[in-house]
Each structure stands twice: as structure tokens, then as C-alpha cells.
Amino acid sequence: MTRIHCIITGILSIAFSLSHAQELYTPAPKPQPRINGPLVYGCRPGHPFLYRIPCQGERPVSFTIKGLPSGLSLDPATGIISGNAPVQGEYEILIKAVNAKGKDQRKLKIISGDKLALTPPMGWNHWYAHYDRITDAMMREAADVMISSGMADAGYQYVNIDDCWANAPNNNDKLRVGPLRDEKGNMIPNHFFPDMHGLTDYIHSLGLKAGIYSSPGPYTCAGFTGSYNHEEQDAHQFTSWGFDFLKYDWCSYGAIPTEGKWDDKGVTSEGNKKLTLEDFQLPYQKMGAIIRSQDRDIVFNLCQYGMSEVWKWGGSVGGHSWRTGGDLGFELDRIFDIAIRNTQYRQYSKPGEWNDPDYIQIGWIGNAGKMGAPELTKMPASMQYAYMSLWCLIASPLVYSGDMSKLDKFTLNVLCNPEVIDVDQDPLGECGIVIEKQQNCFLMVKNLSDGSKAVGLFNRGKTPVEVTADWKDLKLSGKKLVRDLWHQNDLGKFNGQITATVPAEGVVMLKIIK
Ligand code: GLA
């Protein structure tokens, strides 16, 4: 075994040192169909249902489904399933895809009940690319690119507007200034969002889902209209516009329970009253209950930066995910620490309830401090693979937040490896654990539903280093088949341990198969 181990380690070293530059880890998708996406999908009975089967491979692809419950129908050419969610129950369907080059099939369990987001939500959010420059046209473009780039074929689904879509009382961009609400009290979108329903219709026509953003405070973080005292009305409006996702961002809400001040010019200040747990929970409880009462499946994303240990109660107030910290755009040099910190909250990660360490910021992103125009990230290539691996191993929502109009081959290669994404989307919903190794190195180990383990070997140092995963640390024994998930190839059978050379500031991500 030692000799084999050395040979394999040698091969791995060569492979991984070659791959250190801007090399693409993920092999190009094959021409034949490969169905991706989660193995379980939650919906609520009677509500509108929309699911575009993620499937790689040359078009045209023709789809069929065995066991599709009544109320749902499939467009065989696009793979879009739509209709109304079936009566409460579990429905095992078998999806088949055929094209000129081959075929594939994959099971999906549709669980119609009271839970959504049974696997971490995947999609795109505009914030770190377009900040206060976002327009309806950019949202539509993002949806188009989600399809044309192949991101949707790998499982990305939500196209989410962040802040700055409404009017503000004050803003440098006068086209974003205007009345906050109409005479009936309905929120008014700004000049750049002339037709919210038209926008969600467009996103839905592609089989994708649409997300929106508000704050429980009088104003959002960028000073736009918030939902304070209009919660019910705004939730109804978001529903009637056709949104499927709400990010609810604390922002100016602090002024309310602290008995602070706010005016109609967008100025708010907090008072001195100390906040209690109930104060932190109240706005989310309130909106959570309203969202649940809508005749629409709306994923509820809490954004309050991890205050008051939100992971302990985010699920109980109706949240499907909650930010565990501040804005990651200010801390992109700390992705390893942040992922490790998130493993401390691992017991709160489960189907329908996810810790959210914030978006994937690679490719073209704008400087968070300056709300700058998108520029190509300076993050080392190897670290971008590590970033994606960490987010998958902690079962984070996978929400890309870079400029979709500038998506390049490398960025897509990081974002769209279905075997890596499968780790994130695993139905168990477990967050990995950390096993410290030698200086600068650690493993992150995640149990998967088929009894296998996903293991990330991470190196935070500036030079490549050999890292060993020992079976005893992983609670494994005997000979195991090991697969390299980024390169999508089997490395062979290993007994007792595996060693790989991990690139500087990078990862080797393995699946140790049951
Ligand atoms: C906060 C949130 C960010 C983003 C901005 C918008 O900072 O944490 O994710 O939504 O507000 O203003």
C-alpha cells in the first residue's frame, strides 16, 4: 500500500501542481445529457409550481417524466415543470433526458408539505455587481445569461433583486428618488423598474424564479423604502407581483425597538434602549408569518448579520436561511475563517433551514466599500475553487453575486461543477466538520446521504503542501474508492488514508465512497 500510496501521491502532486495556475479543474460538460439538481424538492400544496430541470448536454434535449403527480405538467422541449403543487405527499419521479448523443435519468422526490428549500437555494443576486445601479434590463439579462451560460443547467435557479429597486427620499441618482408609496400605501418601484409583474413573468418564462428585497425598518440599508408598518401590504404586493424569494434586511430597523428616530428624508438613528432577544425576533416573526400565509411558495432569507445568534431561532420564525455575519464583500480575504466559523453553527443547518455566510463573489464584482463598478476579482484561482468547495461543504446557499454580463470561462468553471454542487445539495443537509491538520491546513468533512463522505483538503498557506486524510479521523475503515470531485475522476482504492498535494491557498476535494 505504501508504494501505491507514494505513486498515487506522486501522480496527484504532478496533477495538482500543473493545475495551480488559472487552470480549469472542472472538465467541460459532455455532449450527452447529464441531469443535475437536487434529489428532493419541497413545495406547498395547491401553490404555483415551477421547476426547470437542470440538465447539461447539447440541445435539443427531449425530456420525459415517470410518476409526475397530477396538477403538474412538463414541457418536453425545455424541461420546465409547471402547474400547481399536488396534495400533501411524497412523489418519487423519474426524469429522463435524451439527445442525439445519448441519454440520462435521475430521480427526484417532490415533497408537497409545509417545507421549502429542502436543499440550499441556488441562484444569483445583483448586489455585489450592480449595487445602486440595478435595472429591470440587468435583471432580465441576468436571467438570460443564467440559461445561456449553463448555470441553470448546473442547478442555479433564483434571479434575485437586492436593494435599490424602490424609490428613496434622497439619492445621488435622481431617477431613484420619488414618492415611496402610492395613495393606497403600495410601495412604488423606481424609474428603472417600470413593470415588476412583467419582470417576474419574464424570469418565470425561462423556468427560473424571482427574488426581491426589503427591510423591516422604515428604510433599507441604502436608504430606500422599507416595509415598516406596511409588512402585510408589501408581502401581498410581492406575492401579487409573482416573487418567489424575499431577502429581509434589518438595516434601519434598529431605530424601532431602541426607541430611536427617523424622518421622512431617510435619516434614522438608534436610541439607547438595549435590545432583547424578542426585539431581534419580532420583525422576522411578523414577516415570516405573513409570508407563510401567502398562496405562493416564498423562500424567506433573514439578513441581520448574525445578531443574537440568529441560527438558533431563524428557522422557528419562518426563515429558510439566515446570514450568519456581516457583508462578506468586506471580508473576502477571510473566506477560510468565515467558513470555519460557520461550522460552529452546524447543528442548525438542516433541510429547509440554512446558515448563510453570504454570496459567492468571484468573476466581475464591484468593490463593496465604494459600491464600485465590476472589476475582475484578484482572488487567486486556487482560492476561488476553495471558496466554492467550502460553501458546498457547509451546505450554504449558493448565490452568485458577480456581473452576469461578464461571466468568463474560469468563473463558470468554478461555479458549475455538478459533482461539487451535489455536495452542497445533498439531501441530508449536514454542515461539515473541521479537522485541523498541520499549520495552515485543515480538512472539512461532510456526511452525505448515500453514506459517502465529502472531504475538502484545504491549504491556507502560500506554497503547495501535502495533506493527509486519515480514515481514523474520518471514522472510516477498510479500502475505499476515492473520487476527485473537481476533476471528476476516480483516484482508485485507498486503505487507511489518502495524501494529496494541495495547491497554495487552495483545495483538493474528494468523495470517499461508501
Ligand atoms: C446590507 C446587506 C447586503 C445588501 C445591502 C444592500 O449591507 O447585508 O447584503 O443587501 O445591505 O443595501
Residue with CA at minimum distance from ligand 1 atom 11 = 221
**Confidence at residue 22, expressed as pLDDT on a 0 to 100 scale:** 77
What residues pair up with 221 in beta bridges, in sequence order? none
Report pLDDT digits (tens) over 47-81. 999 999 999 999 999 999 999 999 999 999 999 99
State the distance from the centre of ligand 1 to the C-alpha of 432, rounded, in angstroms: 27
Q: Has domain 45-112 been given CATH number 2.60.40.10?
A: yes
Query: Would you say residue 452 has pLDDT above 60?
Result: yes
Task: Indicate whether residue 327 lines ligand 1 (CB < 6 A).
Answer: yes
Query: Would you say residue 21 has pLDDT above 80?
Result: no
Task: Indicate whether residue 162 lines ligand 1 (CB < 6 A).
Answer: yes
State the distance from the centre of ligand 1 to the C-alpha of 177, rounded, in angstroms: 19
DSSP state of 20: T
Q: Which helix (H) or strand (E) holds 234?
A: helix 231-241
State the distance from the centre of ligand 1 to the C-alpha of 79, rounded, in angstroms: 34
Instruction: Give, in degrees to the nearest 5, the angle at Cα 140 between 214 and 302.
Output: 25
Report pLDDT digits (tens) over 234-254. 999 999 999 999 999 999 999
Query: Would you say residue 6 has pLDDT above 50?
Result: no
**Confidence at residue 252, expressed as pLDDT on a 0 to 100 scale:** 97
Do 122-424 and 45-112 fall under one CATH topology?
no
Question: Other C-beta atoms within 10 Å of 210: how many?
Answer: 24
> What's the CATH superfamily of 122-424?
Aldolase class I (3.20.20.70)
Query: Would you say residue 9 has pLDDT above 70?
Result: no
Gap between the Cα atoms of 170 and 224, Å rounded: 8
For ligand 1, mutation pick of 124, 160, 161, 163 (most atoms within 8 Å of CB)? 163
Gap between the Cα atoms of 110 and 68, Å rounded: 9
- Average pLDDT estimate for 281-286: 98
The answer to whether 141 touches 206, Cβ cutoff 8 Å, is no
Q: What is the DSSP string of 430-443?
A: PPPEEEE-STTEEE
**Confidence at residue 355, expressed as pLDDT on a 0 to 100 scale:** 98
Report pLDDT digits (tens) over 187-202. 999 999 999 999 999 9
Query: Would you say residue 4 has pLDDT above 90?
Result: no
Given the residues 144, 327, 470, 473, the one annotated as active site = 327
Query: Would you say residue 3 has pLDDT above 70?
Result: no
Given the residues 249, 297, 403, 484, the one annotated as active site = 249
Query: Would you say residue 7 has pLDDT above 50?
Result: no
Cα→Cα distances 2→35, 469, 498, 501, Å: 38, 15, 11, 16
| Mean pLDDT score across all residues of the chain | 96
Residue 20 binned pLDDT confidence (cut-offs 50, 70, 90): very low
- Average pLDDT estimate for 100-106: 98
Phi, psi of 23 (to 5 degrees): -75, 150
**Confidence at residue 10, expressed as pLDDT on a 0 to 100 scale:** 44
Length of the chain in terms of residues written: 514
Residue with CA at minimum distance from ligand 1 atom 3 = 327
Task: Indicate whether residue 353 lines ligand 1 (CB < 6 A).
Answer: no
State the distance from the centre of ligand 1 to the C-alpha of 215, rounded, in angstroms: 10
Residue with CA at minimum distance from ligand 1 atom 5 = 221
Query: Would you say residue 14 has pLDDT above 50?
Result: no
Q: Any catalytic annotation for residue 249?
A: yes
Report pLDDT digits (tens) over 295-349. 999 999 999 999 999 999 999 999 999 999 999 999 999 999 999 999 999 999 9
Report pLDDT digits (tens) over 118-131. 999 999 999 999 99
- Residue percentage of the chain with pLDDT more than 90: 96
Instruction: Name the residue ranges covered by the structural domains of the chain.
Output: 45-112, 122-424
**Confidence at residue 33, expressed as pLDDT on a 0 to 100 scale:** 98
Task: Indicate whether residue 220 lines ligand 1 (CB < 6 A).
Answer: yes
**Ligand 1: nearest atom to the Cα of 247:** 10
Report pLDDT digits (tens) over 379-431. 999 999 999 999 999 999 999 999 999 999 999 999 999 999 999 999 999 99
Task: Indicate whether residue 303 lines ligand 1 (CB < 6 A).
Answer: yes
Query: Would you say residue 351 has pLDDT above 80?
Result: yes
Q: Any catalytic annotation for residue 333?
A: no
The answer to whether 58 touches 31, Cβ cutoff 8 Å, is yes
**Confidence at residue 11, expressed as pLDDT on a 0 to 100 scale:** 47
State the distance from the centre of ligand 1 to the C-alpha of 219, rounded, in angstroms: 12
